[in-house]
Amino acid sequence: MKLQTTIPLKPVITQIDYTSAIVLLGSCFSENMGCKLEYFKFQSLQNPFGILFHPLAIENLIAKAVQKKAFSEEDIFFLNERWHCFDAHSELSDPSSEKLLQKLNQGLQETNQQINRSTHIIITLGTAWVYRKKESNSIVANCHKVPQQEFSKELLNVEEIRKGLENIVNLIGSLNEKAQVIFTISPVRHLKDGFVENQRSKAHLITAIHDFLSFRAQSSNCTYFPSYEIQMDELRDYRFYTSDMVHPNQLAVDYIWEKFKEVWISPEVYPIMNKVEAVQKGLEHRPFNPDSEQHQQFLKSLNEKIKYLQDRYFHMKFITT
């Protein structure tokens, strides 16, 4: 008896290996995938400006990074004893304006450098709902708990999103025309917008991406990975969500990662991934008796495994105690 429908997937040609350089931008689900890539010690840069939920926020920061437009004091503001930037997530906010600007401009520099050398850029779109600051008539990435009446809420239409995606790809191509751009939709449900509103939002994002990909049918450097569809169609059960019934739980994240791995990770590096995972699990091990001979032998073996990997892959760094 078949109890599940599965989305047909097949491996791509331009797969990721340990020579690849990866950039991940977008919704919090991009951080789920980014954490997996970091865990297995791939070369990646993940959300240097924090979580970005909608496509115009991603477009704005890629434009600043590519065009080397630095942030200045005019781009930040003070509220609730911290300095913030409407273009970035609140995790970058800081009590010091100088430190915030330093973090923002360092993020631009890192993004520029990584796009320049990247082989794969993964962009995860979370919502088509945006907030426009009435005073400046500009769409923000994050409201930072500024009073709601200072914003108007809008749903981006399909054409606005499609144009944003086109601008993103063109900006990336101006620095690195060989980079593979992978679009995906976050399976996180934005129910604060409303149940129907969330579905409208996801529908706009999906339609815009596929309209854009159809327009670029002759180009092989842009593609789509069905994270949202896997969650909705293969994992059709609330046991695959966290207790908030909004975010995919770890089991769901692991499942979607395995699907991503089948499509995008070269099988040639699976043995190295297994070695990395063995080291990671070893580093998580907590002995009953740290001074025992058995544990000292364990540490010696673990250090040999780390040395083996680092001698072959210089970018790999492991946190040891």
**Mean pLDDT value across residues 264-273:** 97
Q: State the pTM of this model.
A: 0.94
pLDDT digits (tens, 9 = 90+) for 186-218: 999 999 999 999 999 999 999 999 999 998 765
3 confidence band (pLDDT: 50, 70, 90): confident
pLDDT digits (tens, 9 = 90+) for 14-51: 999 999 999 999 998 889 999 999 999 999 999 999 99
Residues whose CB is less than 8 angstroms from the CB of residue 309 and which lie 6 or more positions away in sequence, other chains included: 41, 272, 275, 276, 279, 316
Q: Read off the DSSP letter of residue 156.
A: P
